[in-house]
Amino acid sequence: MGLFCNGFSLFLIVCSMAVAASGSFYQDFDLTWGDHRAKIFNGGQLLSLSLDKVSGSGFRSKKEYLFGRIDMQLKLVAGNSAGTVTAYYLSSQGPTHDEIDFEFLGNLSGDPYILHTNVFTQGKGNREQQFYLWFDPTRNFHTYSVIWSQQHIIFLVDNIPIRVFKNGESIGVPFPKSQPMRIYSSLWNADDWATRGGLVKTDWTKAPFTAYYRNFKADACSWSSGSSSCGSRSSSSFSDRCMAY
Ligand SMILES: *[C@@H]1O[C@H](CO)[C@@H](O)[C@H](O)[C@H]1NC(C)=O
């Protein structure tokens, strides 16, 4: 099992299996916005994002990935989280980007979060599917995963597949397979649409709102531009050499 990435000569690209041994958030991610609202602590084992009236916050992976399995444990904003959205997604860059999204739409205390999923290919989304979770995602950490191969993208919650996006190229639907993606997450205010379609607003007296992350694992083909392990970004052979499981 796993990804088989052959060494090859023309392009200095190294496919690596970043197996288990979940490193540290310091090593794998950059805090990208929100100043002190994004934090890494417990020696790199825990990350938190928070949102207050002034700003939300976010982070992104240092590496880009092309196929593989990516796991992260999240514990979402507890209590009255109405109006807040915690987005956790993979995305490439540019106007024809690909994207694989988990978005958690907050709610009033005791009312269920919505897990909103989407897939963008070549800059086009509109493939939303929403789910109610079978547990309270604010009480404990739960694992949210993406398995991304040439054949399909599978969204999993605690190892249970909740959505499969199949490669439909044979019927003319573009599939994400050539643009490497970074992992991103952000916590932000979206009370114009998030909760009951925007009817319930964020209660700022409850701020700051905080979500937690741990146990990141990428069993994936990575390429980190600018680092010594990878060179050219332009090889189309890259995906051919990385055969997904
Ligand atoms: C919030 O709770 C209400 C009432 O149960 C529900 O209709 C709604 O779908 C829930 N989620 C969001 C994000 O609005």
Tokens 């507890």 map to which residue?
78
Using CA atoms, how far apart are residues 86 and 73, in angstroms rounded to an integer?
Answer: 13
Asked whether 199 and 177 are in contact (CB, 8 A), the reply is no
Q: Which residues are catalytic?
A: 99, 103
Mutate to test the pocket of ligand 1, among 196, 199, 200 (most ligand atoms within 8 A of CB): 196
Has residue 37 got a pLDDT over 60?
yes
Asked whether 72 and 216 are in contact (CB, 8 A), the reply is yes
Assign 3-state DSSP to the chain and report helix, strand, coil percentages, each to 5. Answer: 10, 45, 45
Q: Which of 60, 8, 63 is nearest to 226 (CA)?
A: 63
How much is the average pLDDT of 123-141? 97
Question: 197-238, pLDDT tens digit by residue?
Answer: 999 999 999 999 999 999 999 999 987 654 433 323 333 334
Q: Tell me the CA–centroid distance for residue 105 and ligand 1, in Å.
A: 9
Tokens of 184: 């991103």
* CB-count exposure of residue 42 (10 Å: 0-12, 13-18, 19+): exposed
φ and ψ of 83, to 5 deg: 90, -15
Model's pTM, two decimal places? 0.86
Mutate to test the pocket of ligand 1, among 114, 131, 133 (most ligand atoms within 8 A of CB): 114
Ligand 1 binding pocket, CB closer than 6 Å = 105, 107, 111-112, 114, 194-196
Using CA atoms, how far apart are residues 193 and 171, in angstroms rounded to an integer?
Answer: 33
